[in-house]
Amino acid sequence: MKSGRFWAWVVFILGAAYFFIPLIATVEFSMRMRRGAYSFDAYQIVLGDARFQATFMYSVVAAIFTIILGVLVVVPAAYWIRLRLPQIRPVVEFITLLPLVIPAIVIVFGYIRMYGSNSPLPFLANDTATNALLVIGYATLSLPYMYRAVDTGLRTIDVRTLTEAAQILGAGWSTIITRVILPNVLIAVLSGAFLTFAIVIGEFTMASLLNRPAFGPYLQNIGANRAYEPAALAIIAFAITWGCMSLIQILSRFAPKSANRPN
């Protein structure tokens, strides 16, 4: 058992080295901009760059719309399947796994060919419609995570009883979903939302191929043209991912309490 613990430490330390050295190196590199001294110049330049602000805001807005669209598509379906159509669950689960099977680049290639300017649904004809198509594409990418999160949330509440109680009190379908079901799975929806945010914020492939001024293509562009700013951007991106995951962890601590509320 003694030697087992020794090897566990060896494995853990090797792993930690592999994961922390690139982070340390990136921090160090990002601060090397001024000759001979460490400074935050690269961060100042990046954060002060008008294109950084514009593309970052664009991606934040895209992420928010993605989350809203994802909730609108997933929550009613997951709820309805629990309540009335458990027999189609395997089909829906299969569909929600498809975005993990079909690479994003293939999905967006299909969009470009199917919804081109002279198709019946010309999503690429103007900027607003292309923005909408990007949000749709992002919602597709986040489908596996969103569905799983919401479905897990629904599993912890008694959907049927809640629905019938609400109906007895005279609630209609929209009231039931927005005022009874959604508040009960809010924690789950929010975890799905933060994961979606983390995925969407720096997404490159779809934004680039749809020619959108998003954060991912901006990152790539800076990477191809600058030396120290990319390292600063990598640290910022890592911090954003870290923030999203921490929020999910914090939320998950609240989840059981609100979900298993006694009658």
Partner 1 sequence: MTDLSLSNKAIAGKTAPPSEARALRLPTQWLGVAPFFIFAVMFLILPTLYLMLGAFQNEAGEFTLENIAALSEPNIVAAYWISIKVSLASALIGAFAGLAIAIAIVRGGLPDWIRSATLTFSGVASNFAGVPLAFAFLATLGRLGLATVLLNALFGLNIYAHGFNILSFWGLTLTYVYFQIPLMVVIIVPAIDGLKKEWGEAAATLGATTAQYWRMVVIPVIWPSFLGTVILLFANAFGAIATAYALTGSSLNIVPILLYAQIRGDVLHNAHLGYAIAFGMIVITGLANVFYIWFRTRSERWLK
In the range 133-162, which residues lie near partner 1 by CB under 8 A?
A: 136-137, 139-140, 143, 160
**How many other C-beta atoms lie within 10 A of the C-beta of residue 263?**
5
Residues 32-71 that bind partner 1 (CB under 8 A): none
Task: Characterize 148-167 residue by residue with b for buried, 16 or more Cβ atoms within 10 angstroms of its Cβ, and e for exposed.
Answer: bbbbbbbebbebeeebeebe
| 247 sits near partner 1 (criterion: CB under 8 A) | no
Return the ∠ at Cα 154 (arms to 149 and 156), rounded to 5°: 105
Q: Footprint of partner 1 on residues 199-228 (CB under 8 A)?
A: 199, 202-205, 209, 216, 219-220, 223-224
Specify the stretch interacting with partner 1 by CB under 8 A; choose among 45-53, 58-66, 163-171, 253-261.
Answer: 163-171
Q: Give the whole-angstrom CA distance, residue 51 versus residue 66.
A: 22
Distance, CA of 229 to CA of 248 (rounded, Å): 29
Question: Which are the contacts of 23, defined by CB distance < 8 A and separation ≥ 6?
Answer: 235, 238
The two structure tokens encoding residue 182: 């959604």
- Closer Cβ to partner 1, 26 or 156, answer by number: 26
C-beta of 139: minimal distance to partner 1 in Å?
8
Does residue 92 bind partner 1 (CB under 8 A)?
yes
Give the shortest CB-127-to-partner 1 separation in angstroms: 19
The one segment of 54-62, 182-190, 196-204, 253-261 that binds partner 1 by CB under 8 A:
196-204
21 binds partner 1 (CB under 8 A): yes
Q: Does position 250 bind partner 1 by CB under 8 A?
A: no
